[in-house]
C-alpha cells in the first residue's frame, strides 16, 4: 500500500531515499506483517494444542524481530515510521495479551520490549489505541472463546522463555 501512495504522490516519499535504507524498511515491514499473522493464529486458536503451536511460531517471529533490531538499531530510535505503523498495533496487542494472560511473549527480548514501550507512548498510536481499545479487544477475544493460556501453561511458558519470577505485563 505504501508503494501505491508513493506512486500517487511522488513529491512526498514515504520510504527513505537511500536504496539500502529503503530495502531494510521494506524487509522490516514484511517481518511486521508476519508477526500480525502469527499473533492472529494465537488469538484464533481453538484449543490448547493449537495455541501452543501458534505461541511457539509467534515467539520464533519475535526472536527474529529482536535479532533484526540488533542489526538495525536506528529503527528503534526513529520517531514513528512506516515500520512503526506496521508494528505498533500488533505490539500493542501483544502487550495486552501478555498483561492479561501471562504469556510472557516479550520476555528476554530487551530491544523489542523497549521499542514496544516507545511505540505505545507515541501520541498517534495512543490516539488510535485509546482507552476503549482494550475493552474492545478483550470483548473480541472473549467472543472467540480463545483458550490463550491457563495458569499451568503460563508457568511453563515463563520457564521456557527464561522469565524470572511470576509477573504480569510485557517483558
Distance CA 14, CA 8 (A): 11
Q: Where are the domains of the chain?
A: 2-158
Residue with cell 529503527: 75
Q: Supply 4's cell numbers.
A: 501505491
DSSP helix/strand/coil, 103:
coil
Q: What is the mean pLDDT of the chain?
A: 83
Residue 167: pLDDT band with limits 50, 70, 90: very low
pTM equals 0.79
The SS3 of residue 127 is helix
Give the relative orientation of helices 48-71 and 151-160 as an angle to the nearest 10 degrees: 30
Q: Which CATH class is domain 2-158?
A: mainly alpha
Which pLDDT tens digit goes with each residue over 141-154? 888 887 765 555 55
For the segment 16-75, what is each residue's pLDDT rounded down to a tens digit? Answer: 888 888 888 889 999 999 999 999 999 998 888 898 899 999 999 999 999 999 988 887
Model pLDDT, residue 157:
58
pLDDT of residue 77: 80
pLDDT tops 60 at residue 170:
no
Q: How far apart are CA 157 and CA 128, in angstroms?
A: 31
Is the Cβ–Cβ distance between 122 and 83 less than 8 Å? no
Q: What is the CA radius of gyration of the chain?
A: 17
pLDDT at 103 exceeding the cut of 70: yes
**Residue 103's CB: how many other CB atoms inside 10 A?**
24
Amino acid at each position: 500500500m505504501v508503494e501505491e501512495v508513493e506512486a500517487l504522490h511522488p513529491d512526498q516519499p514515504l520510504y527513505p531515499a537511500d536504496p539500502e535504507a529503503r530495502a531494510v524498511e521494506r524487509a522490516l515491514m514484511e517481518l511486521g506483517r508476519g508477526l500480525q499473522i502469527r499473533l492472529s493464529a494465537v488469538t484464533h486458536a481453538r484449543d490448547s494444542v493449537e495455541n501452543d503451536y501458534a505461541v511457539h511460531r509467534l515467539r520464533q517471529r519475535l526472536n527474529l524481530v529482536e535479532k533484526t533490531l540488533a542489526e538495525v538499531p536506528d529503527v528503534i530510535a526513529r520517531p514513528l515510521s512506516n515500520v512503526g505503523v506496521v508494528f505498533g498495533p500488533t505490539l500493542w496487542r501483544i502487550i495486552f495479551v501478555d498483561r492479561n494472560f501471562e504469556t510472557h511473549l516479550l520476555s528476554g527480548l530487551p530491544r523489542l520490549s523497549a521499542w514496544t514501550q516507545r511505540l505505545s507512548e507515541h501520541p498517534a498510536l495512543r490516539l488510535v489505541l485509546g482507552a476503549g481499545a482494550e475493552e474492545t479487544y478483550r470483548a473480541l477475544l472473549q467472543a472467540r472463546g480463545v483458550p490463550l493460556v491457563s495458569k499451568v501453561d503460563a508457568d511453563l511458558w515463563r520457564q521456557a522463555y527464561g522469565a524470572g519470577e511470576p509477573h504480569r505485563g510485557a517483558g
